[in-house]
Homo-oligomer: A and B are copies of this chain.
C-alpha cells in the first residue's frame, strides 16, 4: 500500500528535478517526441524508474493521449502473428506506448465489436491485421485513431497499408513445385468471408496467382482448389477433400503454414508419406515449419519487418503525418524437405 501511495504522489516535476532537466524535456521523452538525445532519454527514464512514476495515467490527463496502441488479430493460434507483434514491440520498446490486443473472432460481426472495443478504449493508434470488415468500415474507423492495416492489398487515403507481395510469394511456391516436376498441384485456400473486396484479400491473391501460374504452364486442367480456412482444422478438411480426387494430386500448396500442419495430419491418416508420396508447401515460414520433424517448405514474408514498420508508421501518424503510406515486403522461398520430385508413374 505504501508503494501505491508513494507512486500516486510522484509528479512530472519530481521526475524533472530528480533527473536535473526541465519538465518540458520530461514531457518530450514521455511522448517520444523527436529531438531528444539518447542521453537525455536515458536520464529521464532512470529517474522515472527510481521514483516509480507512472507516466501513462498522468500523461493521458496531461496530453489527451492514452499511450496505447490497439492491435486486432484474427486469432491467437496462427504462429505468424507473434512474429509481427515482436517487430511492433521492438519498435515501441523505447517509447511509453503499451500494446493491447483484441481478437476478431469467427466473423465480421464479432470483428466489428472487437474494433469498436479498441476505439471505445481510446487507443492512440490501431494496427488491424488481416481485417474482414468492409473497406468502407475501415475508412470510417481510420477517421478516428491513426490506423495501419496489415494484409489487404488496398490503397487508402486515410490509413497506411503494410503488406506482403502475395503474388510473388505464391508464384515462388508454384514455380518451385513445377520445377520439381509436379503437374497435379492442388491449393488449400481460405473461403471468402467478406463482401465486395475479395480481390484485395491476401488469401484471394494467393489462390488467384496459383491458378494463373498453373495456366501459364499449360496446367489449367490440373487446377484443384479446396477453400476452407487458414487454420489447422481448415488444412485438415482441405487435404481430405483434395485426397478424394482421382487422380490424386502429387503436391499441395497450403496458403498458410498453419493449414499445412492440419494437412499433414490428414496425409498421415491416409497413409501418405511427405514428400515421398506427396509434396507439401506452406506460407509464412513460421518457426514450427523449421522443426526438423516437419521441415516444411514455406514463404518467408518477414513478419518482424512488417511489425516494426507498422509501429513506425503509427507513431508518425500520431505525431501528425496525414499522407498515406503503402509499404510492401518482397517475400522469399525457403525450400525444405517437405517438397521433392513427384513419385514415379
Residues of A within 8 A of B (CB): 1, 3-4, 54, 56-57, 60, 66, 68, 75-77, 79, 81-82, 85, 89, 98-103, 105, 113-114, 116-117, 120-121, 140, 232, 261, 264-265, 268-269, 274, 287-288, 290-294
Contact = CB atoms under 8 A, between A and B. Distances in A.
Contacts of A103: 85, 89, 99, 101
A228 to B, nearest CB: 16
A82 B89 contact: no
Central interface residue in A54, A68, A98, A114, by most chain B CB within 10 Å: A98
28 contacts: A1-B140, A3-B140, A4-B140, A56-B120, A57-B120, A66-B121, A68-B117, A75-B82, A76-B82, A77-B82, A77-B287, A79-B79, A89-B105, A98-B113, A98-B114, A99-B103, A100-B101, A100-B102, A101-B102, A264-B291, A264-B293, A265-B291, A268-B292, A274-B293, A288-B288, A291-B294, A293-B293, A293-B294
A85 B89 contact: no
A89 B114 CA distance: 12
Contacts of A292: 264-265, 268-269
A288 B261 contact: yes
A287 B78 CA distance: 12
Contacts of A57: 120
B294 A232 contact: no
A98 B82 contact: no
A336 to B, nearest CB: 13
Nearest to A81: B76
A85 B102 CA distance: 11
Contacts of A89: 103, 105
A115 to B, nearest CB: 10
B76 A98 contact: no
Central interface residue in A100, A232, A268, A291, by most chain B CB within 10 Å: A100
Contacts of A140: 1, 3-4
A280 to B, nearest CB: 11
Contacts of A99: 102-103
A4 B136 CA distance: 12
B54 A120 contact: yes
A116 B100 CA distance: 12
Contacts of A261: 288, 291
A101 B117 CA distance: 12
A117 B101 CA distance: 12
A98 B85 contact: no
Given A4-B140, A76-B76, A98-B114, 8 more contacts: A54-B120, A57-B120, A60-B120, A100-B101, A101-B101, A232-B287, A261-B288, A274-B293
A100 B294 CA distance: 33
A108 to B, nearest CB: 13
A99 B264 CA distance: 33
Contacts of A288: 261, 288
